[in-house]
A and B are shown apart, each in its own frame.
Chain A
Amino acid sequence: MPRTSRLRPGPVLAGAAALVLALLASVLLGAAELGWTRVLGEIWAQVTGGHSPLSEREAAILWRLRVPRAVLGALVGAALAVSGAAFQGVFRNPLADPYLLGAAGGAGLAVTVVITMLPQGGSAPGVAQAAAFAGALGGVGVTWLLGRSAGNDAATLVLAGVAVGAFLSAGQTFLQQLRLDSLQEVYLWILGRLSTAGWTDVLLVLPLLLISGAVLCACGRLLDLLGTGDDEAAALGVHPGRARAVVLIAASLATAAAVSVAGLIGFVGLVVPHLVRLACGGSHRIIVPLSLLFGGAFLVLADMLARSVLAPAELPIGVITAFTGAPFFAVLLHRGRRA
């Protein structure tokens, strides 16, 4: 694939095709044996208004469990990958990931507080999701304030993120030790999962992901300018602090939205932008939108594997993303050293 700084239709089409194929495969194949021809028949029947080959229960499995899960997987994967690309661009650090600035620690602590301290715990609908969302944004906010007070450059922000993340994680561990009887519920939230996905989750995160994804895709050139260094960016008319703020807010919003419905799924935000960079070049005008598409496809496929490797049992999706992501990352590191 030619390496340019412009987004060409070819890679975009490839990304879109990968996403559509992953979604289609995920909808056709699942733990329940519906038969892919019958599923296609059902989809055709919905389009044409004809007779459905599926029973009421099978239709419920398809439309109320499998399809929303696939769509949510695509949204969460896209959000994590696009924010990973943005964080790596802002910090000029290829190891940056969506959880770098305390999003994971914040979400984890907030969910733990809700579950251990509220009388009803996190059982009320939407409470734990809202807490995860607010916690992730809060974690990033504290990092931002701390980094700002110490200079607000990229390296300071990363250090502040590490410190805040460690502190929030310690707080979470402390609360868990205080209330060991809630450990199970906390872990269920913290570990990534799509197994309980439904249309409600999709509708909760869709608007946030659309907005933040659009902002980040539009910020590709800004990220390229920031990549040249703050002084150079300023000389080209970009205010580095403001530009960073816009990107970080959008990326944090995407991360928080993903975390609130799917917990902490690792490696997507780290690996997918790298893969795109390796294949299509180093411009963020290319990396950010393609990460969005390939990130969605990656997580949908990972979820499909999670559902099918031990079918009819499931594997936690974080296991699949780590299994596929970590070796790939090792290969990348190896190639990077040789280059």
Chain B
Amino acid sequence: MAANSGAFARGVAACHRTRRAHVAHRPDHEDVMLGFRRLPALLLAVLALLFAGTSCATRTPSPAPAAPVEDPAAAFPAQITIEGQEPVTLPQQPKQIVSLSPTATESLYAIGAGEQVKATDQFSTFPPYAPRTDLNGLAGDAAVVAGHDPDLVIAPEGAGELVEGLHELEIPVLITPAAASLDEAYEQIETLGQATGHSRQAHDVTRRMRDDINKIVADTPKPPEPLSYFHEVSPDFYTATSQSFVGGVYGLFGLTNIADEAGGADNDFPQLSQERIVQADPDLIFLSDVKCCGVSPQSTADRPGWDTLTAVRENRVVALDDDVASRWGPRVVDLVRAVSDTITRTQRP
């Protein structure tokens, strides 16, 4: 899967483009357009000068009011709320963020808050230039995190003791639980925007994600028969049901999850019996244990009995990027695209 051509990359590129626009040379047609945009302002200025000249000769003419500039700092102090978590009060825009959540790291860079990120955890593999450290959100030491002098720490759910320690040190901590749906993922990205003073960019990112995902789903040919799938989380057949975040992505395409019967109300990631997988004969198999555990389409085909599966025989075993398949950040668009490509491939003769 082309993991590096995702929404995040486009988001970063868009931010860079915006920044460059103020300093670099613009193409000629842009100059012309800007000229046209300036014309009304010039006319207004002339009118203002005339008006000033006729009413009060002693007053110094004031310049035409500039377009309002967004001041991120003006949004603070702010109270940030994530459902199910204690609200976090931020007195001012954070300038030294420590992100202990790989998903949050991806989102922060996508919404243009990358410059505020001073340290990330050891699993924050994307973007590659994020300042990775050996910090671990789930088994970290509050003192070590505090050593980075953060004015905001973003932690995953489950970082209990670490969070308590940071509270003792009066460092604001925003806990970001795993999203259960795309809507929750969008919400979390927008909350990160609010917490970092990048609300508008965060909104842009989620709008772009929605648009991209909707377009990809709409453009994907609908199979004549509903397709079934197996999403492999680990080589001993742990999987994800439709209730999980990743299951929701497959649900966008109307795919049937062979593990749904195995998942309970509180178990979105059951371990399936290998017999059951072979009997269910999924049309598509998605592997998200490629980087972690060395599983590949070839090794999958070599498993006993798996050569009888439709997905193996039809070459529909897809190696996903483990990280993209397990995070609920902007790169979820890449996951959607990979699923779409696979479904599209099944429609070709």
Contact of A313 (CB < 8 Å), options: B267, B274, B305: B267
Inter-chain contact B292/A313, CB cutoff 8 Å: no
The size of the chain B interface, using a CB distance under 8 A, is 33
Q: Is the CB of A64 within 8 A of B305?
A: yes
Main secondary structure of the interface of A (DSSP, over half): helix
Q: Name the interface residues of B100-131: CB closer than 8 Å to any CB of A.
A: 122-123
Q: How far is the CA of A297 from the CA of B284 in the complex (A)?
A: 37
Assembled-state Cα–Cα distance A174/B279 (Å):
41
Beta-carbon contacts under 8 Å, B159-188 to A: none
Which residues from chain A contact B87 at a C-beta distance below 8 Å?
A: none
Kindly state the separation between the CA atoms of A64 and B303 in the bound complex, as whole angstroms. 9
Contacts of A66 in B (CB 8 A): 275
List of A residues within 8 angstroms of B293 by Cβ: 121, 123, 184-185, 188
Assembled-state Cα–Cα distance A122/B295 (Å): 10
The smallest C-beta distance from B211 to any residue of chain A, in angstroms, reads 33
Set of chain B residues within 8 Å of A24, measured between Cβ atoms: none
Give the contacting residue for B276; candidates A31, A184, A199, A315; CB below 8 A.
A31
Q: Which one of A55-63, A105-113, A159-167, A206-214 contacts B?
A: A55-63
Alpha-carbon distance between A65 and B306 when the two chains are bound, in angstroms: 10
Contact A310 to B274, CB < 8 A, known contacts A58-B279, A123-B299, A196-B235: no
Chain B positions within 8 Å of A315 at CB level: 271
- The winner among B271, B273, B276, B305 for most chain A CB atoms within 10 A is B273
In the bound complex, what is the Cα–Cα distance between A307 and B279 (angstroms)?
15
Taking CB atoms, residues of chain B closer than 8 Å to A65 are 274-275, 278, 304-305
Question: Residue A333 at the B interface, CB < 8 A?
Answer: no
* A120 part of interface (Cβ distance < 8 Å): yes
Q: In whole angstroms, how far apart are the Cα atoms of A158 and B167 in the complex?
A: 46
> Which residues of chain B (227-286) have a CB below 8 Å from chain A?
234-237, 261-263, 267, 270-276, 278-279, 281
Structural contact, B136 and A180, CB atoms closer than 8 A:
yes
Q: Are A32 and B275 in contact (CB under 8 A)?
A: yes
Interface membership of A195, Cβ < 8 A: yes
Complex alpha-carbon distance, A33 and B136, angstroms: 44
B273: chain A residues within 8 A (beta carbon): 30-32, 195, 307, 311-314
- What CA separation (Å) do A111 and B308 show in the bound complex? 31
How near does chain A come to B8, taking the closest CB pair, in angstroms? 20
Counting chain A CB atoms within 10 Å of each CB, the highest count among B136, B261, B305 belongs to: B305
Give the complex CA separation of A31 and B276 in angstroms.
6
Known A195-B236, A307-B273, A312-B262; judge A68-B304 contact (CB<8 A): yes
For A169-182 the 0/1 string (1 means CB < 8 A from B) is 00000000000111
* A98 is an interface residue with CB less than 8 A from chain B: no
Residues 1-54 (chain A) with a chain B CB within 8 angstroms:
30-33
Give the residue of A30, A184, A314 whose beta carbon is less than 8 angstroms from that of B234.
A184
B84 within 8 A of A: no
Given A123-B294, A195-B271, the answer on whether A32 and B234 have CB atoms closer than 8 Å is no
In the bound complex, residues from chain B placing their C-beta under 8 Å from that of A312 are 261-262, 272-273, 276
Which residue of chain A is the closest to B125 with respect to CB atoms?
A181
Interface: A193 (CB within 8 A)? yes
The CA-CA distance from A12 to B330 in the complex, in Å, is: 64
A325 at the interface (CB under 8 A from B): no
Query: A318 an interface residue at 8 Å Cβ cutoff?
Result: no
Chain B minimum-CB-distance residue to A120? B294
Q: Which residue of A lies closest to B295 (CB)?
A: A123
Q: Which residues of A contact B305 (CB under 8 A)?
A: 57, 60-61, 64-65
Query: Which residues of chain A come closer than 8 Å to B136, judged between CB atoms?
Result: 180
Report the separation of the CA atoms of residues A57 and B294 in the bound assembly, to the nearest whole angstrom. Answer: 26
| A198 in the interface (beta carbon within 8 A) | yes
Residues of B with C-beta under 8 A to A120: 294
Contact B123 A60 (CB under 8 A): no
Contact with A along B298-324 (1 / 0, CB 8 A): 010001110111000000000000000
* Closest partner residue, chain B, to A182 (CB atom): B292
Q: Is the CB of A32 within 8 A of B299?
A: no
Taking the closest CB of chain A, its distance from the CB of B101, in whole angstroms, is 14
Q: A188-B235, A195-B273, A196-B235 are in contact. Are A122 and B294 (CB under 8 A)?
A: yes
Contacts of B235 in A (CB 8 A): 188, 196
State whether B299 touches A31 (Cβ < 8 A): no
Measured CB to CB, the closest approach of chain B to A311, in angstroms, equals 7
Which residues from chain B contact A124 at a C-beta distance below 8 Å? Answer: 294
Task: Kindly list 14 other residue pairs between chains A and B, CB separation below 8 angstroms, not including A188-B293, A313-B270.
Answer: A31-B279, A57-B279, A65-B274, A120-B294, A182-B292, A184-B234, A184-B292, A193-B236, A195-B237, A196-B236, A312-B273, A313-B271, A314-B272, A314-B273
A-B pairs, 5 with minimum CB distance = A123-B294, A31-B273, A313-B262, A313-B270, A32-B275
26 contacts between A and B (CB under 8 A): A30-B275, A32-B276, A57-B305, A57-B309, A60-B305, A60-B308, A61-B279, A61-B305, A65-B275, A65-B304, A121-B294, A123-B295, A180-B123, A181-B292, A184-B292, A188-B293, A193-B236, A307-B275, A310-B270, A312-B261, A312-B273, A313-B263, A313-B270, A313-B271, A314-B237, A315-B271
